[in-house]
Amino acid sequence: MRLNHAFAGREYPPTPPRRIEEHEIRSFAAVLGTPTTGGAAPLAPATFAIVLSLPADDQVVRDPQLGLDYRRVLHREQSFVHHCPIRAGDVLTVRVRVADVRSAGRREILVTQAEIETVSGAPVCTVTTTLIVQPAGTPA
């Protein structure tokens, strides 16, 4: 089964607002082996945005109309463009859209963009995820 290319441009509803807790940032930083900065309201490491964007991306990858079999996915690339730092105490929401669906030889490429924002709509971070999909029934 191939991906539904009509999904390019599709947007999903924003995630519910989520308060970023200090312990989350400190735990994430500890796993990475990086110190936190910012004192009482620590700044999150740049890749902390994945904690927010990944659940939002689930709206796309679990949409049965897309036709994605996640067992046939190779994670190709992840990029983070920060508009401001993520801090403990921030209340954020994520809107995700399918930026691109295209064929690349026997494989397909799925690109999502997750826009992390404050509840008032101020941009915080754009997370772009690129997946390579090997459609069922095609040789590897």
Q: Which of 1-15, 70-84, 108-122 has the highest mean pLDDT?
A: 108-122
Q: Which residue has the higher pLDDT, 91 or 74?
A: 91
Residue 129 in tokens: 């995820």
Dihedral sign (CA 88, 83, 29, 70): positive
Q: Which residue has the higher pLDDT, 15 or 139?
A: 15
Query: CA–CA separation, 62 vs 89, rounded Å?
Result: 30
Q: Which residue has the higher pLDDT, 126 or 74?
A: 126
Which CATH number is associated with domain 5-133?
3.10.129.10
Query: CA–CA separation, 36 vs 76, rounded Å?
Result: 28
Q: Where are the domains of the chain?
A: 5-133
Q: Is 130 exposed, middle or buried (0-12, 13-18, 19+ CB in 10 A)?
A: middle
Chain segment 101-135, per-residue pLDDT in tens:
999 999 999 999 999 999 999 999 999 999 999 97
Question: Which pLDDT does position 42 carry in this prediction?
Answer: 87
60's enclosing H/E stretch is: helix 49-61
What mean pLDDT comes out for the span 20-39?
86
Does residue 139 surpass a pLDDT of 70? no
Does residue 78 surpass a pLDDT of 80? yes
Give Cα 64 to chain centroid, integer Å. 19
pTM here is: 0.90
What mean pLDDT comes out for the span 67-93?
94
Does residue 96 surpass a pLDDT of 80? yes
Residue 48 in tokens: 């902390």
| Torsion (CA) 65, 69, 56, 81 in degrees, nearest 10 | -120
